[in-house]
A = this chain, B = another copy of it.
């Protein structure tokens, strides 16, 4: 734990190279847009990593220097190596924060951390979403009012196949008639995990001021409290064993 919270913003970074409409919205990639949103905070230092870098940009050294990892992926979840997923999982269990954004509900790392398939309903109709803040006292919702709106968004609807969250901080209302647990908190090992629903590749969600505020808040909330690896130790008794067979 350094003076600043060291965030690594990870992005699949495929859409932006392939699809003109995505490139138009995120010319420098979704990762640089998210990093830009975090960069003005005095307590955050930010780097980025992308899937097509060696080791997906997540070497042992990078992870050792990461307090909070944010994750966006969509097209190529299956191409993320199992070995790197295990490496990230180990770091989360030792204390690193993990923030999974939008289509990262189907990422290997989130499914590995949660143990469920993270299935949901979805629709791309450019509809309105209203995110209700149901935990106004939670650090992740600091500075967010009773709700905020996204004018055009992809819909994700329940049932979302996740373990019951420790805390649900946002529930979404969609114009087309669905609801969704859009901000979900868990703890696994010594690390904290936040799933945040918004973030489609062709809507400028990651430029939205409320979205940026929530991601910044989440990085602060998920910053490590300890760095501690479990090792299943064999231990000596603390009291005399008298009843031995």
Interface residues of A (CB under 8 A from B): 89-90, 93, 95, 106, 112-117, 119-123, 125-128, 130, 132-139, 142, 146, 151-152, 155, 157-161, 163-164, 166-168, 171-179, 181, 186-191, 224-226, 228, 230-239, 241-245
Instruction: Let me know if B177 and A137 touch, CB within 8 A.
Output: no
Tell me how far the C-beta of A102 lies from the nearest C-beta in chain B, rounded to whole angstroms: 14
Of the candidates B115, B157, B230, the one whose C-beta lies within 8 Å of that of A117 is B230
B171 touches A137 (CB 8 A): no
Majority-rule SS of A interface residues: loop
Q: Which 8 A-B pairs have the closest CB atoms?
A: A176-B237, A177-B238, A119-B230, A137-B190, A177-B239, A152-B245, A119-B232, A128-B243
Chain B residue numbers with a CB within 8 Å of A228 are 136-137
**A116: B residues at CB distance < 8 A:** 93, 188-189
Residues on B with beta carbons closer than 8 Å to the beta carbon of A135:
159
| CB of A164, distance to nearest CB on chain B (Å) | 7
The residue that A123 contacts in the complex, of B120, B125, B234, with Cβ under 8 A, is: B234
25 A/B residue pairs, CB under 8 Å, sorted by A: A93-B116, A93-B117, A93-B161, A106-B232, A113-B115, A116-B189, A117-B189, A122-B232, A123-B237, A126-B243, A126-B244, A128-B243, A132-B178, A136-B228, A137-B224, A137-B225, A152-B245, A161-B189, A163-B187, A164-B187, A168-B168, A173-B179, A175-B241, A175-B242, A175-B243
Which residues from B are CB-within-8-Å of A106?
232
Taking the closest CB of chain B, its distance from the CB of A165, in whole angstroms, is: 9
Q: A163-B186, A230-B159 are in contact. Are A241 and B132 (CB under 8 A)?
A: no
Hey, which chain B residues are within 8 Å of A112, CB to CB?
115
A233 to B123, CA, bound (A): 9
**B residues within 8 A CB of A132?**
157-159, 178-179
Report the bound CA distance from A83 to B4 in whole Å.
42
Q: What 5 new A-B contacts, CB under 8 Å, besides A137-B226, A161-B189?
A: A93-B161, A123-B234, A127-B241, A134-B160, A164-B166
Q: A125-B241, A187-B164 are known contacts. Are A232 and B120 too (CB-CB below 8 A)?
A: yes
